[in-house]
Structure 1
Amino acid sequence: MATCIECSGSVLVAKRLSFDADQALISDPATIYRFVEFSRALQHAKDIEEKDELWMKMREEARRDVEQEPVLASFYMATILSHDSLESALATHLGNKLATPHLPACSLADVFLTTILEDAAIRTAIREDLKAVKERDPACVSYVQCLLNFKGFLAIQAHRVAHRLWNQGRIPLALVIQNRVSEVFAVDIHPGARIGQGILLDHATGVVIGETAVIGDNVSILHNVTLGGTGKAIGDRHPKIADGVLIGAGTHVLGNVRVGSGAKIGAGSVVLKEIPAKTTAVGNPARLVGGKDNPIKLTKIPSMTMDQTSHISDWSDYVI
């Protein structure tokens, strides 16, 4: 059995076709090339599926959802159950989400799938991001719901593809993907930004990440966060976020400043200077809890605990 793509408007559906030599005469060589390349990609994806327990779990979740809500049967078939791999399902879903009348879903999905299958690091990061959302966000009831409905997860995965394209010199396509993610998900991540794995982008609306920003592994970022420049510098001008950092909602980190591993930034803070590892910074401008000379050290990884308020009750004299 071979797999091909039927593209109609902005809807992309994977269809199973039996091979028929009498119907295999295609006059357009480019069409043959695209079909063969996509078939190769899906065969690679099928090899991945055989050892992908997370993907099998997601298919089980999808079947349960359909049993509970039969009205979703066609949607789940098109987005999950007709696909041989997580990579194929994600590429198709992103293609449909980000398509325009002049940028067909099938073309975008082909770009996403080919790029993902070329890079083992992206494939690993996709799975680590899924696990991060499921483990840290109590609103995430299943892996399949994360893939289908959590725009922070989808925005990060689209960025991973755009970043690889950017590094390959495919600048126009990378910027188009960035723009579509911004328009559709209200998340603006420059394709030059470097982002690790195990990332939770919670709620995600209003997140802005600049071109030279670097984000480590196992970082949790809430909505309306800016990792931006000061407007005065050129070159390497954006924040560097180490592993295990938690950045609260409405926070702005400006300039080429480092936030150390395991640090926490309280909601609504404005960070203009370096934050040492395992410390908490709050306020505008941000100050270290306990003072800069003897800051209180965190004993747990904040991006994992998602504790955003203990610094208030443990240290501050704040009252209502």
Structure 2
Amino acid sequence: MTACIHTSRTRVLEFESNHNNYSNFCRSDYSDQLSCKPISTITSHNHQDDEIWQKLKDEARFDIDQEPILSSYYFTSILSHSSFESALANHISMKLSNCSLPSATLYDLFMGVLTEDQEIVKDVKDDLRAVKERDPACISYVHCFLNFKGFLACQSYRIAHSLWLQDRKILALLIQNRVSEVFALDIHPGAKIGSGIMLDHATGVVIGETAVIGNNVSILHNVTLGGTGKSGGDRHPKIGDGVLIGAGTCVLGNIGIGDGAKIGAGSVVLKDVPARTTAVGNPAKLVGGKQNPVKVDKFPSFTMDHVQHVNEWSDYVI
């Protein structure tokens, strides 16, 4: 596989050295299947390294001191790049590439999106901070950036979503498919996702086309934000700010989960959940009852407390 990717990348780089416009790389006879819109020219520009980018580089150098065997990997992934955008585009392109989809092609595409929309880059950095602050298993920013597939899948989604909004849906769906194959989770590029998102572990996460997720939301593995059948249109959940969704949860249909709500692990949610309440069970019920539910005093996505109030839901005793 390594030889295959290297050969493909080399050929693409040789081709592009003689062509200034990315659109020349697209085959004209496939114009109805693959968008040949040119990628905007990426100009090099001087800018001050921001705090996150500087932190990533400092951590990379520290890791190399601890494990010199990783020097080539860290140099290729972080230290050889002049910007955060370049490092991110390169790392995701390497992850999602295969023999017929060279990493150089994906890199140019991803850099075009990231340099045109700095709001995406801001959201990416918010996600990086969110993981570092909320996940005790995350030992550094660079550890998350390089190794956390939930983080990488979310940033791949952000690029795909931008392409989706530009009506470049074939490319967006291609990225969705590669993310599903590589990272084992499925986020439709039509979904709308805010910033400060943590997909913890992330394996088995499914987020449907019309789902909406607010800011500062934490979602664990095997969570489904899905529809309820074959009906089209607006059919997926709407998740408010600061929500925590526990592992193995299914939230189905065009329902709302209010700001600061908590969904206990293994729940099946079929009805709206009010803000700052806790729902748990199959089917899910509000802790404290519908008429007087127990209120959550802090945003659970920040505290990551999965058991407060949940253990009051039943009289189950070990």
What TM-score do the two structures reach when normalised by structure 1?
0.88
* C-alpha separation in 2, matches of 1:93 and 1:42: 20
Partners of 1:42 and 1:84 within 8 A in 2: no
Would the alpha carbon gap of residues 39 and 189 (structure 1) be closer, same or farther in structure 2, given more than 3 Å must change?
closer
Would the alpha carbon gap of residues 38 and 319 (structure 1) be closer, same or farther in structure 2, given more than 3 Å must change?
same
Partners of 1:208 and 1:226 within 8 A in 2: yes
What TM-score do the two structures reach when normalised by structure 2?
0.89
Partners of 2:224 and 2:249 within 8 A in 1: yes
Deviation at 1:30, TM superposition (A): 3.9
- The answer to whether the aligner puts 1:111 opposite 2:112 as a matched pair is no
Would the alpha carbon gap of residues 42 and 79 (structure 1) be closer, same or farther in structure 2, given more than 3 Å must change?
farther
2:77 matched residue in structure 1: 79
1:43 matched residue in structure 2: 44
Deviation at 1:121, TM superposition (A): 1.3
* C-alpha separation in 1, matches of 2:242 and 2:253: 20
- The answer to whether the aligner puts 1:101 opposite 2:94 as a matched pair is no
1:237 matched residue in structure 2: 235
Identical-residue share of aligned pairs (%) = 63
Partners of 2:39 and 2:109 within 8 A in 1: no
Would the alpha carbon gap of residues 27 and 205 (structure 1) be closer, same or farther in structure 2, given more than 3 Å must change?
closer
Give the letter aligned to residue 75 of structure 1. Y
2:303 matched residue in structure 1: 305
Would the alpha carbon gap of residues 161 and 193 (structure 1) be closer, same or farther in structure 2, given more than 3 Å must change?
same
2:161 matched residue in structure 1: 163
Deviation at 1:309, TM superposition (A): 1.0
* C-alpha separation in 1, matches of 2:104 and 2:273: 44
Would the alpha carbon gap of residues 10 and 185 (structure 1) be closer, same or farther in structure 2, given more than 3 Å must change?
farther
Partners of 2:130 and 2:197 within 8 A in 1: yes
Would the alpha carbon gap of residues 257 and 9 (structure 1) be closer, same or farther in structure 2, given more than 3 Å must change?
farther
Would the alpha carbon gap of residues 55 and 109 (structure 1) be closer, same or farther in structure 2, given more than 3 Å must change?
same
Structure 2 gap segments, 5+ residues each: 26-37
Deviation at 1:316, TM superposition (A): 3.6
* C-alpha separation in 2, matches of 1:147 and 1:154: 7
* C-alpha separation in 2, matches of 1:268 and 1:155: 23
1:20 matched residue in structure 2: none
Which residue, 150, 170, 173 being the options, matches 1:172?
170
Deviation at 1:109, TM superposition (A): 1.0
* C-alpha separation in 2, matches of 1:27 and 1:121: 32
Query: Deviations for 1:284-311, whole angstroms, at most 9, x for unmatched residues?
Result: 0000000011100110100000000122
Q: Which runs of 4+ in 1 moved over 2 A?
A: 7-12, 26-34, 37-42, 312-318
* C-alpha separation in 2, matches of 1:205 and 1:54: 26
Deviation at 1:233, TM superposition (A): 2.3
Structure with more strand by fraction: 1
2:34 matched residue in structure 1: none
Structure 1 gap segments, 5+ residues each: 1-6, 16-25
